[in-house]
Amino acid sequence: MVNKPTGVDTHPSHENQHDSLSNFVASYFESQGVKCRAHPIHRLDRDTSGAVIFAKHHLSQAILDRMLQHKHIKRTYLAIVNGQLQKNHDTISKPIGKDRHHPTRRRVSPNGQTAVTHYTVVKNINNLSLLELSLETGRTHQIRVHLSHLGYPILGDTLYGGTKDPNGQALHAKSVQFVHPISEEPFTILAPLPKEKRWMLFA
């Protein structure tokens, strides 16, 4: 398990990139004399911090990939959004596809892939809301797209209409729950907010 900092790509985005989370994990194992092929089971956007599962060999990777596919890995997030939601908890079930007018942006599309996000309002702060969210699916930018589609973009997420904020994008993967692929021991792993995002709990 790795607690990804803000501003780091999960995977290298080009051949000569050496500052991705995957590179850092590989370098760590090498420094410890551990021979393995560390592979992230899921990814977080560059400006999203928090918990990422890495598999150390092909067998655990295959098992964890299957667990993720069958929704046996639960991921929980914290986000601060612009505005106050009308419902204290709800499920957003809207398919997501590529936005043909932008190279990286996604959008809700009837021809997109199934995407399901659950949210609960933790508290309201002036014209902001702190949410706890969990995913049934893992589409690119899923939480960001779904919340923006509702009209409540994430604070600092200017790609999807959020208000620019000096603290950056207010989205953090706070925990994951899963069963160990070999020992079958249940785990709940908590990822503390990084220093630059601790303000989210006191906003």
Please identify every residue annotated as catalytic.
Answer: 45
The Cα–Cα gap between 32 and 70 comes to: 33
Other CB atoms within 10 A of residue 106 CB: 23
Asked if 51 and 176 count as a contact pair (C-beta separation under 8 A), the reply is yes
Asked if 152 and 143 count as a contact pair (C-beta separation under 8 A), the reply is no
- If DSSP codes are grouped into helix, strand and coil, which group holds residue 151? coil
One-letter identity of residue 75: R
Other CB atoms within 10 A of residue 137 CB: 16
One-letter identity of residue 92: I
Asked if 123 and 113 count as a contact pair (C-beta separation under 8 A), the reply is no
Place of tokens 């208000």: 163
The Cα–Cα gap between 58 and 22 comes to: 15
Place of tokens 């933790």: 122
* Closest of 13, 166, 193, 176 to residue 104, by C-alpha: 13
